[in-house]
Amino acid sequence: MESQLPLAPTRCGGVEFRWGERTYIMGILNLSPDSFSGDGVDNIEAAITRARQMVSEGADIIDVGGESTRPGSQPVTTEEESRRVIPVIERLASKIPLPISIDTYKSEVALRALEAGAKMLNDQWGLKKDPNLAELAAEWGVPLILMSNQRDTAEYGDLIFEIVSSLKGSLETAVSFGVPWENIILDPGIGFGKSGAQNLEVIYRLAEFRSLGRPILVGTSRKFMLDLPVDQRLEATAATVAIAIARGADMVRVHDVRQMVQVCRMSDAIMRRGQGVA
């Protein structure tokens, strides 16, 4: 059953996410040279320029990542990941007005990112790889995104049941480490160990995740219409973002901020009329 209770706001640095009032937009800043979408930047100045562009286009938070998550990608060491992301976070923290999220499943990288100025942790493994991320989130008082990753799942029974169970386990771990309930955001993990048909089912049944009582982040950007080059997937991404919002998404993680801001605002105008959205 979908949760009907209003969600308490989540404080992230100097920003307050007031869930239910509108859809929030997380802009993607890839610093890995082998990003699936081909948008990785390889120097600090290019990263600053890209981040500032996303700020001007209407992003609410910038998610910085230094390790590719595409299928078949090779893990990078803690030192290499830190080398890619920490100097950029240090610069961004003083250059842009938005909070910065660090996309990592390694607590060593996360700690360095927090020390550099990051205000949110985004764990694509939902604490399965490194539960110490929850301890950091609790100590630093920052929000924690927990994603359900099925890349270690050999066989599925009921897909949605599997994802809900995975997210429940991650939630319990986070709370056991002292992460405040209002600081937890959930992500069903579009594309992570799921087939194309399964990804579509997750979006279609997204409202079922509301029963977990936490805001839902959805990351579909450039993951659909895989028979097309990544620079030709904009319209497909727009469709998934609009439907995800209709199904209950609270935040979307996107590459094309300017276009997806328009999609979100129109979707909000339709779906959130009772919350005062024009």
Decide if 195 is inside a domain: yes
Q: pLDDT digit string (tens) for 142-173?
A: 999 999 998 766 566 789 999 999 999 999 99
pLDDT at 258 over 50: yes
Ordered alpha helix ranges (H), 97-150: 107-116, 132-140
pLDDT at 72 over 60: yes
Decide if 26 is inside a domain: yes
Decide if 7 is inside a domain: no
Decide if 159 is inside a domain: yes
Q: State residue 5's pLDDT score.
A: 67
- Provide the whole-model pTM: 0.92
Share of the chain above pLDDT 70, in %: 89
pLDDT interval class at 278 (50, 70, 90): low
Q: pLDDT digit string (tens) for 82-140?
A: 999 999 999 999 999 999 999 999 999 999 999 999 999 999 999 999 999 999 999 99
Decide if 242 is inside a domain: yes
CB atoms near residue 193 (< 10 Å) = 16
Q: State residue 74's pLDDT score.
A: 78
Share of the chain above pLDDT 90, in %: 78
pLDDT interval class at 36 (50, 70, 90): very low
Decide if 10 is inside a domain: no
Q: State residue 40's pLDDT score.
A: 59
Q: Give residues with Cβ within 8 angstroms of 261, minimum separation 6.
A: 25, 57, 58, 59
Q: State residue 55's pLDDT score.
A: 98
Of the two residues 219 and 276, the one the predictor is more confident about is 219
Active-site positions read 223, 253
Number of compact structural domains in the chain? 1
pLDDT interval class at 43 (50, 70, 90): confident
Q: State residue 276's pLDDT score.
A: 52
| 8 vs 219: CA distance, rounded Å | 22
Q: What is the CATH number of the domain that holds 185?
A: 3.20.20.20
pLDDT interval class at 193 (50, 70, 90): confident
Residue 23 sits at the vertex; the CA angle it makes with 22 and 28, to the nearest 5 degrees, is 150
Average per-residue pLDDT for the chain: 91
pLDDT at 38 over 60: no
| 77 vs 277: CA distance, rounded Å | 45
Decide if 9 is inside a domain: no
pLDDT interval class at 194 (50, 70, 90): confident
Domain that holds residue 203: 18-270
Q: How do the residues of the chain divide into helix, strand and coil, expressed in percent and rounded to 5?
A: 45, 15, 40
Going by C-alpha positions, the residue among 204, 205, 240 that lies closest to residue 222 is 240
The residue-averaged pLDDT of 39-50 equals: 83
